[in-house]
Structure 1
Amino acid sequence: MIRLSVAIAGMGLLLAFCKPAEAAPAPDVPTAMKQAAASLLQSKLLHATSIVVVYRGKEFIVHEGELETGKANRPTDATLYEIGSISKTFAGLLLANAVIEGKVKLDEPVQQYLPSGYSNLQSGGEPIRLRHLITHTSGLPGMLPLQVNTVLKDFTDHGTPGKLNLAYANYGQPQFWKDLHQVDIEGPLGKNYAYSSVGTELVAHVLERIYGEPYESLLAKFLAREAGMHDVRLRLPADAVGRLAPGYHSDNPVPTSPMPQLPWGAAGNLKATMPDMVKYLRLQLSGHPAVSESHKPLARFEDDFSIGYFWNIGQSRQLGTHFVHHGGVPRAQCYAYIVPKYELAVFIITNQSGNATAKAMEGALAHIFDAVESMEQVVETRVKVL
């Protein structure tokens, strides 16, 4: 007993000397989020930001800045933001769920779900398949109508939002189907990455055909049932319009109009509150069968870059395998990161959209990723010592 007591006491002394007490304490998540927000809002044109983090079961939300300069209207948990192309990951999740349920297979030709033959949707005799749509390897154009692609080439021009509004003023599904007949596909299919919102809109249509229900209601039901999300919207009811964040395009000091409505909206029309984005991030970390399916790499382009169901899949020393998507509309940009290595998910958004906005957000996110890595290293060191 004496020897055991001495050994225990000796171990206590050893642990005391081995503790990383002299090292600077790792920053906590809320502090890192505040640093990220402060860093982002140093950018000349940025007005406000909201950041969401889910880390090892805990969730955090930070709002900073003014939605409109000089009005002291800080974003809140009730603020609805336009999340742009992160909407695509929602469509991918629903398609993944349809695959899990055995209602569809990724190698099915998209033509079998379309209202007419569309013999033009092929290359070298091979039809565009569903897997080509969700991996951006279909050869479809970025947007329909085709003139929108020309407009977006000069995205920062102050006239761009107005031109987009004009292009989509009376543009619905009938016009989309007509324009789709005019598309020429350059192959080979499944090989070359070419980002396409047209492909995402087709996925929404396929889901409607599979389930016999409008995409909007399919999405709302799935999110409510699987994640308890009730404040993510494709179209805003009158009583919610006042909660939509105003936003700024490029260096224009005057707030601009929202993203115009696309034929289905799956490619970029979702609006969400930060509490609901917390729930979406939790779902993405949950191991839900449809989530796991949506994270599968389906096309590889580089050693450190593949794509799943619209999710970009990256590899890095710091984050390991991670899933990321950027979203952008004329008056907002955002990023979502899912990092299973750390049981971490991050969403950041700002109500400004210009050429430098994405880079500014990436720089801000480094504060969070560095803090989490540091915290993980401290825990790992303590575990090794024990």
Structure 2
Amino acid sequence: MTKRTRTLLIALALTSTISCNQKNTTKNKSTEEIVKYFAGQFLDDDRIHSVSIALVNNGKEDTFHFGQQNPNRNNPPTDSTLYELASVTKTFTGTLVAKAVLDGKITLDDDIRDYLPREYPNFEYEGEAVTIKDIITHTGGFPNFPPSSENKEVFWKGLHQIKIDLKPGTEFNYSNTAPEITAYILEQVYDIPYQQLVTKFILEPNGMTNTKFVLDENEKKLLIQGYNGDKKPQEHFKNNLWGGISGLHSNTTDLLKYIKYSLNDSILEVKESRKNFFSTQYDFDIGYHWNIVEIEDEICYRHHGGIWGMQNWLMIFPESNFGIAVLSNASFEGGLFSEGIDDKLENLALKIKSEMTSSLEK
């Protein structure tokens, strides 16, 4: 059974109850009351310890924190608490690709081999090359994980083992291999290390001083501990490559700034990054690494991030000028009729957004 099928079964089973309770309990409530109500529902699951929320609603900025960072301890997260963003890092990569296109550094139809340090005759299918557009939309035919990732040298060697067995640009297959290639290409065209590119073009202009790939000793003390569904502590992710797939740490204060940046379509690379390139076989389209879905007749640009012991969602709704990030230091999968933490966080974000939007309409 696919995750989408499982999610639909859960939704069918719970929709009527949730809808009724939501309408009766949050009507005419403030933002804080709405968020607190749905966060309380979220934390009813004993496997979840805490949740942090950053939201921008038509220019108004709020952050919220509930629960406790560690089981059985009275230490709730704060605005200073750092989370691993995991694959939400890919949205930074995608936005930098959008900027590179606008800057004339690359084109979406470029053969990626033009930028790589070695020859890869295997990066084509029946004579058709893998392009920049293919690797940012997960349609290049690359495996989810690279054959080798211990360091950059073995990464390049391992790529010779990959076989592209379908026409590039025709089928979505999520890949944690391709974004690292993308990060390397960005380094080559700007002649700046990838992580410095993120800092120079996104973090510094937006004052995101707490968002970093590498933490110093004091910052490590602010990094929240992650847990699995059995409440066992999990290791933090260590990226030995460029960081195009994962590796950024951030807090709710900085995520407010990233949400505002991502809502601002007067910024050229932000507007470019919203382009829609491919309709996947699932329930979303994809552009510059943003997953694009229609929710309640509004387009949402979003991405999920999951790592050992930590999960988060980032959602941007330009039409209603609304953006939300929800983060938790728990990670567990769902079953046939039960939600995983990713589904729970997704529903939390959408319930808050739906209620706040409907309140404005009233």
TM-score class, shorter:
0.7 to 0.9
Map of 1:213-292 to 2, 5 A cutoff? 213-249=192-228, 251-287=229-265, 288-292=267-271
Q: Structure 2: which amino acid aligns with 1:98?
A: A
TM-score (norm 2): 0.88
User: Which residue of the partner structure matches residue 306 of structure 1?
Assistant: 285
Are 2:319 and 1:335 equivalent residues in the alignment? no
2:71 touches 2:231 (CA, 8 Å); kept in 1? no
Q: Distance in 1 between matches of 2:359 and 2:75?
A: 33
Map of 1:90-169 to 2, 5 A cutoff? 90-145=92-147
Q: Structure 2: which amino acid aligns with 1:122?
A: E
SS in 2 for 1:233: coil
Deviates more, 1:27-36 or 1:136-145: 27-36
SS in 2 for 1:269: coil
SS in 1 for 2:66: strand
User: Which residue of the partner structure matches residue 53 of structure 1?
Assistant: 55
Please give the per-residue CA displacement for 1:103-140, whole angstroms capped at 9, x wherever unaligned: 11111011011001111111111111000011010000
2:172 touches 2:281 (CA, 8 Å); kept in 1? no
User: Which residue of the partner structure matches residue 373 of structure 1?
Assistant: 357
Instruction: State the Cα distance separating 1:365 from its structure 2 match.
Output: 2.2
User: Which residue of the partner structure matches residue 150 of structure 1?
Assistant: none
Are 2:154 and 1:175 equivalent residues in the alignment? yes
Give aligned pairs, total. 330
SS in 2 for 1:112: helix
Deviates more, 1:28-37 or 1:329-338: 28-37
Instruction: State the Cα distance separating 1:329 from its structure 2 match.
Output: 0.2
Q: List alignment gaps of at least 5 residues for structure 1.
A: 1-23, 147-167, 379-386
Q: Distance in 1 between matches of 2:67 and 2:297?
A: 28
Are 2:174 and 1:195 equivalent residues in the alignment? yes
Q: Distance in 1 between matches of 2:261 and 2:28?
A: 27
Q: Structure 1: which amino acid aligns with 2:247?
A: N
User: Which residue of the partner structure matches residue 351 of structure 1?
Assistant: 329
Q: Distance in 1 between matches of 2:143 and 2:74?
A: 41
Q: Distance in 2 between matches of 1:97 and 1:225?
A: 15
Q: Distance in 1 between matches of 2:282 and 2:310?
A: 31
User: Which residue of the partner structure matches residue 157 of structure 1?
Assistant: none
Q: Structure 2: which amino acid aligns with 1:315?
A: E
TM-score (norm 1): 0.82
Map of 1:4-19 to 2, 5 A cutoff? none
1:40 touches 1:360 (CA, 8 Å); kept in 2? yes
Instruction: State the Cα distance separating 1:262 from its structure 2 match.
Output: 3.8
SS in 2 for 1:260: coil
User: Which residue of the partner structure matches residue 28 of structure 1?
Assistant: 30
User: Which residue of the partner structure matches residue 40 of structure 2?
Assistant: 38
1:43 touches 1:360 (CA, 8 Å); kept in 2? no
Q: Distance in 2 between matches of 1:262 and 1:51?
A: 29
Share of identical aligned residues, percent? 32
